[in-house]
Structure 1
Amino acid sequence: MFETERLIIRRFMPSDAIDIYEACNDYEMVKTTLGLPWPYTKEMAEGWVGKVAQREEEGSSYEYAICLKDNPDKIVGCIALMDFNNKARRAEMGYWVARKYWRNGIATEAAKAMLNFGFEKLNLHSIIARYFDINPASGRVMEKAGMRYVGTIRDHEFRFDKFFNVGYYEMLETDEREQ
């Protein structure tokens, strides 16, 4: 699909299910995300990978594997554009990185590439991203990727038997961004 300085961002393959399972079967990682279920099984990973290509064909989401260039067969995370509003030319960006690879700038590097993909290849006008405010590192990823903070909605999501505040970032196609 596309490359950055350190990453290959590519389509998923059936063989990636085991890496996805291993990353998403980590509660400490999953609890930082807005949508990954817990517990996460091998069957869930296999089913999810099996539907990625169909969702891209339908234009409902673009979900890609994040891999390090020195090991392109090992999934270290996922980045996606989803929840499209075609009339408004808007989508939401989401991502996760396996905990073993946190604090290495991987999510930021992938987010910059995905923003460019969304604006240049998909002709989007705006891209939003959301994060739980208990995970400020994710908000910093959005900020470092060039997105603008627009606010936090209190008790906006209910997950793991409690409410969470959700921070919102956005970028418009006219905003300056790294190429």
Structure 2
Amino acid sequence: MINLYDQFPQIMTDKVILRKIEETDIEKLFEIYSNKNIFDYIPGDVKKSRVTVLKMIGHFERDFTKGKTIFLGICLTEAPAEIVGIAEIFDYDKKVNMVTIGYRINENNWHKGIATQAVEAIVEYLFNTCEINRIQAFVMPENANSHKVLQKNKFVYEGVMRQSQYWKNRGIVDLAVYSRLHSDKNDI
């Protein structure tokens, strides 16, 4: 077993690679964070400058060092240097042995199964390498595509938390909760 924040993960499957985000990824990262359509279903707002996105890369490193969040670049195995999305592992609760995951894909790569493959890789890593017990994800109720990604990865729909979070530029939002337990691995 490896502690979640002992070493920065590199997760590889036959289709996707999840790896550390570097300054050399600035153009693809900016493409993602500057697209308003990506922010329809996630908190935060569009980034308008490469300088802002470059600073974020430094914050990704800081957040990992503090044991707060792991940001991973999602790449296709045939193009490991080109980020097509971002995955997050955050809100680690050691007492419950639980984490929350999130993901966003560059709009040019929507509907290609990349998010599904990335979530599958994260789940495998968290259960088998880190021995996490519960993985959860929050999705806006109207985000049908993200619901499908989690359902394909055998997450269990737990319900909607009504008016449960405040998101900048959105106000108070409802969030659907999905989870998968380590014990679910063979049951589902």
With normalisation by structure 2, the TM-score equals 0.86
RMSD between superposed Cα atoms in Å: 1.7
User: Does 1:7 pair with 2:6?
Assistant: no
- Structure 1 residue 123: Cα displacement: 2.4
Q: Which of 40, 52, 64 is the aligned partner of 1:31?
A: 40
Counterpart of 2:27 in structure 1 is 18
- Structure 1 residue 109: Cα displacement: 0.4
CA distance in structure 2 between the aligned counterparts of 1:137 and 1:9, rounded to whole angstroms: 21
Structure 2 residue identity aligned to 1:51: H
Residue pairs, 1:1-179, within 5 angstroms: 1-33=10-42, 35-159=43-167, 160-176=169-185
Helix, strand or coil at the partner of 1:38:
coil
| Cα 1:52–1:39 shift into 2, 3 Å | closer
- Structure 1 residue 39: Cα displacement: 4.1
Asked whether the 8 Å contact 1:8–1:66 carries over to 2, the reply is yes
CA distance in structure 2 between the aligned counterparts of 1:10 and 1:21, rounded to whole angstroms: 17
Aligned positions, number: 176
Helix, strand or coil at the partner of 1:112:
helix
Asked whether the 8 Å contact 1:24–1:36 carries over to 2, the reply is no
Identity of aligned residues (%): 22
| Cα 1:40–1:92 shift into 2, 3 Å | farther
- Structure 1 residue 44: Cα displacement: 2.4
- Structure 1 residue 167: Cα displacement: 0.6
- Structure 1 residue 56: Cα displacement: 2.2
Structure 2 residue identity aligned to 1:109: Q
| Cα 1:94–1:103 shift into 2, 3 Å | same
| Cα 1:40–1:112 shift into 2, 3 Å | farther
- Structure 1 residue 41: Cα displacement: 3.0
Asked whether the 8 Å contact 1:76–1:101 carries over to 2, the reply is yes
CA distance in structure 1 between the aligned counterparts of 2:143 and 2:48, rounded to whole angstroms: 20
* Mean Cα deviation higher: 161-170 or 125-134: 161-170
Asked whether the 8 Å contact 1:80–1:95 carries over to 2, the reply is yes
| Cα 1:68–1:58 shift into 2, 3 Å | same
CA distance in structure 1 between the aligned counterparts of 2:12 and 2:44, rounded to whole angstroms: 25
Helix, strand or coil at the partner of 2:184:
coil
CA distance in structure 2 between the aligned counterparts of 1:153 and 1:2, rounded to whole angstroms: 31
With normalisation by structure 1, the TM-score equals 0.90
